[in-house]
Chains A and B, each alone.
Chain A
């Protein structure tokens, strides 16, 4: 759904199954923005953010977290790890697009 919305809005989307997959996929091509769920198998969003920030090309790249309202603590943790912003689930696709436009105009 997320990927479809973004494609529809004119973005090129590279999908990844989890954090590990994302890391493996983002070295071959430069990505302008990451959207990551907080909870993922193998490597979660916070770990992914830390790993990405450690990579030279992605030190300053926007990373948006998808969180639930109850994960406020996690949200702060993500922020500390270097996440740029977040979208609270459940969200309308328009909200997501607004955030994407905000951090990556």
Chain B
């Protein structure tokens, strides 16, 4: 796999992971709002954001990572007790979360920059100090081997610095790229607004920098301004955060050393052969050597440090162009490496045996760790795996095909018994078929259960939504979620979300009254919206209940009349139930004013039709002053597809849409008979014609082969080619959920199963693949019965 493809895959994987994390963030941030002091919760939020940032940067979402950093900062401060989370912060963080989501999806992150900048600016207000972005973590950890040193940098630019075309912020930013920085602005010099000259620089900065770079590199940042600006750099030794003293210290050095050696070995295998070497190669090699050297001198391993000197010198000379990359240079590097191996080997043999285990583990890692992955992630990975939806669907298709294919066994068994008189083998084939059949059904059930997802994934978004609506409208409402673990088919989960959003919005926006109105009505100030899912028989029921004002039937009627949807007399004749049903009419809205949240009442009719598409029903109960309940009844599992409903011999059948090539009405003259078999030619194609009624009609309903003047043919595609199936009439297109017929009828290959029609009647779904088999069988049976073949 090439790098680009790998990167694409990584990005995709991260996107999936991040989406989950973002959803989780949504709910944990809302929890945090009610319990701002909960440190577990804070940590959870922080970790989620941190992971998004870290893995995001690794996956190449740089803009997103940079932006996320600011959000992380806020929660980091809160986590460290530097600030307390307020609802305003949550507001902002949620906004930021949305932006992160958008940054993940967009191909053009620059377009979102203004929005991000606004959030960043707003975030900065909450932070006790004006922080500058630090380098994303993975850059830092790439250097774990080197020793960080703390520097205190004070930078007071010349007041006229802008006139030299220098933006001091750039320099502070540049400083921050050198390591982990904490930036504090010194604002003492800023005068009152009326005395402020916008072209003058009043600010100074204190930067606490933890960097692996030498001090020269830090000084270099201020190269162009050092003459006129005030710059002080104080370096302190490494803070004692690293394990120190004795064996532990040496062993951590040895870890660094072994990692470095491994990296060097890798580089040496790609040593440039030309005199004009790959500069990147040289620089990388040099970096490792320097890291090793500084680690060695830190350990007072002067001999080792000196050993590195020669190699470092030659590489520096090559990089600066002073010498060419000669064989001599190559020799020095190769020999130097051998010597290093020897020295480090001897050091590690002196190493005390009582080394703690984790150290060994680190040493065995091939490379320095990139981004920190929270333990929680690994734990979750152990219990579940992510699968591409396409792969899953393929599995489901195969399981379905297996279910159809097993139907060949009974046919085969009968053929053996009747045609060839091989009863014992026939029995064995039948038994084997039964077994496969059973396994296929288990498989089908198991595979379908993979598609089942808890409705939690949909419910999760609602606390945020209800909260936003309430905040925007000054209402108070509580959302109660029940039965979040109720499972539904993934397709249903995906498609139920939008209708539910609309219904919950309606409940909070139009249903729940303002707190004052509620109090006047003698109701609790805080309204309640309940979202509840549960299983009922084979169905899943979702209830959206609010204790708001309820539907005003008179108002509904009036509206319907106003909009010309109903005549006044018709409206007056409606009973309570029918009046309520008016809300499902397209173009009717009862909200006194249109709000930006619930919109213009395009909703309810669309909601109902969406749910109908899922083969669900929507019912509404409402009592003025007491609230409303909307009940959605959905089939829990379904294989939804489209089909053509036809009538033949007084029965209704469904052809799966996928198998129907064409539906035509042919004049009788185009049907020809040859040796008792019928053919039709249509658009230069000849195909055999069967009558559906001959195959499936109940005994006694069979009719003579007399073609009507016009023959309705469904041309269907089978494995053996196209055939025309004559029916009495086409009824129309229907949505079907195929339900298998159960084992008793498993040998009827001609049917896929049954489906419930919109009006509750049951129709058989024809299996085009089994159709031909079925006709063969009837021929077989006819032959066995002694009739003329």
Contacts and interface: CB of A to CB of B under 8 A. Distances in A.
Is the pairing of A and B real?
yes
Interface of A: 53, 59-63, 76, 79, 82-86, 92, 102-103, 105
24 contacts: A59-B162, A59-B163, A59-B199, A60-B163, A60-B167, A61-B165, A62-B166, A63-B165, A76-B227, A79-B164, A79-B227, A82-B164, A83-B164, A83-B165, A84-B165, A84-B166, A85-B166, A85-B224, A92-B321, A102-B174, A102-B224, A105-B170, A105-B173, A105-B174
Contacts of A84: 164-166, 224
A85 B165 CA distance: 9
A16 B602 CA distance: 62
A8 B568 CA distance: 75
Given A79-B227, A85-B223, A92-B321, A103 B165 contact: yes
Interface string B218-234: 00000110011000000
Contacts of B199: 59
Nearest to B163: A82
A52 to B, nearest CB: 9
A84 B224 CA distance: 7
Contacts, number: 40
A79 B164 CA distance: 7
Q: Which 6 A-B pairs have the closest CB atoms?
A: A84-B165, A85-B224, A62-B165, A60-B162, A84-B166, A84-B164
A84 B228 CA distance: 12
B165 A102 contact: no
Interface in B158-190: 162-167, 170, 173-174
Interface of B: 162-167, 170, 173-174, 199, 223-224, 227-228, 321
A96 to B, nearest CB: 14
Contact of B163 (A53, A85, A105): A53
Contacts of A82: 163-165
Nearest to B279: A94
A83 B227 CA distance: 13
Contacts of A53: 163
Contacts of B227: 76, 79
Contacts of B223: 85
Given A85-B166, A103-B165, A105-B174, 4 more contacts: A53-B163, A84-B166, A85-B223, A85-B224
A70 to B, nearest CB: 18
B164 A102 contact: no
B321 A103 contact: no
A86 B165 contact: no
Contact of B165 (A60, A76, A105): A60
Contact of B166 (A59, A86, A92, A103): A103
Nearest to A60: B162
A42 to B, nearest CB: 22
B316 to A, nearest CB: 14
A62 B171 CA distance: 13
A102 B170 contact: yes
Given A102-B170, A103-B170, A105-B173, A86 B224 contact: yes
Nearest to B228: A79
A97 to B, nearest CB: 13
A28 to B, nearest CB: 20
A74 B173 CA distance: 29
A102 B173 CA distance: 10
Contacts of A102: 170, 174, 224
A60 B199 CA distance: 9
A61 B166 CA distance: 8
Nearest to B174: A102
A13 B636 CA distance: 63
Chain A CB within 10 Å, residue with most, of B165, B199, B224: B165
Contacts of B173: 105
B147 to A, nearest CB: 25
Contacts of B170: 102-103, 105
A23 to B, nearest CB: 16
B276 to A, nearest CB: 13
Contacts of A83: 164-165
Contacts of A63: 165
Contacts of A60: 162-163, 165, 167
Nearest to B177: A105
A18 to B, nearest CB: 20
A82 B394 CA distance: 68
Residue of B166, B170, B224 with most partner-chain A CB within 10 A:
B224
Contacts of A76: 227
B224 A103 contact: yes
Contacts of B162: 59-60
A79 B228 CA distance: 10
A86 B223 CA distance: 10
